[in-house]
Structure formats: structure tokens, C-alpha cells
A = this chain, B = another copy of it.
């Protein structure tokens, strides 16, 4: 037998098999190859130097978990056709295809009326034309229009393979083992109930709680790490500043495609927008920041140096809102330190909020031995009441930075 099976090395899941030709064709497409140049976790590598992994890798990983999940469901007697398998794998493979550079941070900066899911859908539709309708089923599943609900729930819910992959992957590459989850076990507990919805076998309750807890830890310890929150915030401020300067007639060097978006006003997405957007990646932004370190505008230049040289301002963290006087004092210090009078543009309060498990938005269901499903938060085994409480943290940027703040401690 000749081996036609493609496999890709993945330090996270071992090996990723690509069982359908069309999956391969999508991976080869320039739209998808672009994801190689878009980091999965933006500037997080400033704090966790291992976190240089890409959306390309994440999408492959999520596709792999989808395959595993469908295999498990089939072994439990759920009927899944080859077409459906292909559709579900395609949908998750392409779920992030609309992400732009530094995705979440810059989502609304470049094309203000667009978020990545809308763009993903738009690009999927373009690909569907190119591939003569072969992606139609995948697109239906992605949009939640397919008649069997669990496919969409595997793609996008509080316990989808997207989350399973990114949690495990981010934990792996950051080295923050507290966020490591057992995807193999969680998937082995998946099932489909009579109503055609995704459920978890009741005995898997601890694994789900462990998953929710791990996710909460990753948010507070990694994604919302104060330096991380700060770096992401600066990125947005840099783009805002650049757009503002450009609107004032300043000429900022940038790649042609990035320039296009700096000058673009608010309007619906045109074909040119989309064309140029799919040429952008993290490199355009980093290269711009490298150059803008020498910009005439002191604020733009300062912020770019902060990020490129990882010379970040000091941040203070608090669970309570900062007092007005405290902020004013910080602004005063900043003015003095830099000899400026618009220090208020440099001192900011940033907020981060998390509800680890949302009982309202697509709740997780357990499948009991009697065949009935029950909401996770109604199970008597549910141990961690804290998971359903909303929590907010605030960070404040102050200047100058303190050296002790440099690396994650």
C-alpha cells in the first residue's frame, strides 16, 4: 500500500493526520499560509518567551482535536457521515482564517466595523467559490445553520475544540503548566444527546471543572498578566496614534498594505480592503514599530521603543478601581519625568474581566446515566462555585518603569 496520508509534527498533540484531500488544499492556500505569520498570542512572548506559536499551528491542532472528537462519537454509536466529518474539520480549520495581525488587540483598528469571525466567514465564502461549493457544509456548520447542533457546538461553544486546543497549546508554549488540560480525557467524555446536542458523560464532571479552572488560571496568570495587558494596550495606542498622525498629514513609513489601512476611513469592506487585508500579517506591524521608533512624534516614538526594546512602563494592579487622586499624581509624575504637559495620554487605567463559566451562554450539559441531560451548574457534583462569579481587575500604567517589572515573576 502506498502511503498517501499526510502527517505533520506537532509537539502538543504528537502527530496531526490530514485525512481528506480538500483539507490539504485549504492548508496550501495563501489565505491559510498567511496564518503562519500571525502569532497565536500576540505580544505575550514579551513575558513568556516560548509563546511564539502561530494561528497556523493552532488551526491545525484544533482540526486534529475535531477529528479525535468525531472518532470518539462514532465509537459511541453516533452516526457521522464522511461528508459531515469533512465539513466539521474544514470549518474548524478555517475558523480563524479572518484573523489579522495581532488579532484580538488590533481587531477593530484596521477594519473598524469588522471582527474576525465576520472576516473568516467572508474569506470562507470566497474560498467556497474557488473550490466550487465544496465548503458549503462547513460554512453551514460554522454559522450554526446545520441541522445537527453538535457540530456547531464542537466549533464554537464553552467547550469547543477551539478552546481545547488553544488552552493546551498556550500552556505548552508559555510553560505555564497550571493551564494544561487533558484534551484526550475531555474528548473521551463527549457524547451527543437525543436532541442532537453536545453533552458530557456525567462521570466526566471533574474533567470539565478542571478545564474551566485551568482556563480561569490561564486568563489571570497569562492572558491578563499585567505586562501582557500593558503590551496589548500599547499596541492599540500605537495604531491609534499612527492613524491620528496620518490624519493630521504626517507621513509615516509603512508597508504599502499597512499604509492603506492607516488612511482608510470608516466604511464598509470593499474588495480591495479584503485583498489587502489578506496580505497583512504581524511583520507589517512589527516592521512599522521598528521604524516608528525614530518618528518625530514623541509619544509614538516612545511607545514603539517600549514595545520593540521591551522597555515597558511600570504597571500597578488592583481589584478595586483606582482613586482619582492616585491617577492624577501619576500623571503629574509623568509630566515631570518627561518634561511634558500631556502626561494624561501616557497614564491609563486598563480593565480586564472574566466570568469563567457563563451559565447563560451555551451552558455545558452533562449526560446522566438515565439518559437525561442536566446543566453543569445544577449537578450535585459541581464543586467550584467560584467559577460562576464575575471578576474584574484593573491595571494602571505609570512612568518610568521599574526594572523589577521586567520579566514575569
State the CA gap A196–B284 with chains docked (Å). Answer: 51
**Known A-B contacts A210-B178, A217-B206, A409-B203; A37 and B286 likewise in contact (beta carbons under 8 Å):** yes
State whether A76 touches B220 (Cβ < 8 A).
no
B50 touches A9 (CB 8 A): yes
Is B75 a contact of A5 with CB atoms below 8 Å? yes
Contact with B along A180-199 (1 / 0, CB 8 A): 10101100100110000000
Determine if A7 is an interface residue (Cβ-Cβ < 8 Å).
yes
A215 at the A/B interface (Cβ < 8 Å)? Answer: no
Please pick, from B173, B311, B406, the residue contacting A11 in the complex, using a CB distance under 8 A. Answer: B173
Q: What's the least CB distance linking A255 to chain B, in Å?
A: 6
Question: In the complex, which residues of chain B have a beta carbon less than 8 angstroms from the beta carbon of A395?
Answer: none
- For A182, the chain B residues whose CB sits under 8 A away are 177-178
Q: How far is the CA of A46 from the CA of B210 in the complex (A)?
A: 24
Tell me the number of copies of this protein: 4
Let me know if B54 and A54 touch, CB within 8 A: no
Assembly CA distance A33 to B310 (angstroms): 7
Cα distance A290–B15 when bound, in Å? 30
* B10 close to A192 (CB less than 8 A): no
User: How many Å from the CB of A221 to the closest CB on chain B?
Assistant: 5
| Contact between chains at B1 and A78 (CB < 8 Å) | yes
**How far apart are A84's CB and chain B's nearest CB, in angstroms?**
16
At the interface, yes or no: A309 with Cβ under 8 Å from chain B? yes
Bound CA–CA A73/B9 (angstroms):
19
Q: How far does the alpha carbon of A300 sit from the alpha carbon of B220 in the complex, in Å?
A: 47
* B287–A406 touching, CB < 8 Å: no
Contact B6 A409, beta carbon cutoff 8 Å:
yes
Q: How far is the CA of A5 from the CA of B78 in the complex (A)?
A: 13
Chain A positions 369-387 with a Cβ under 8 Å from a chain B Cβ = 371, 380-381, 383-387
Cross-chain contact A381 with B319 (CB below 8 angstroms): yes
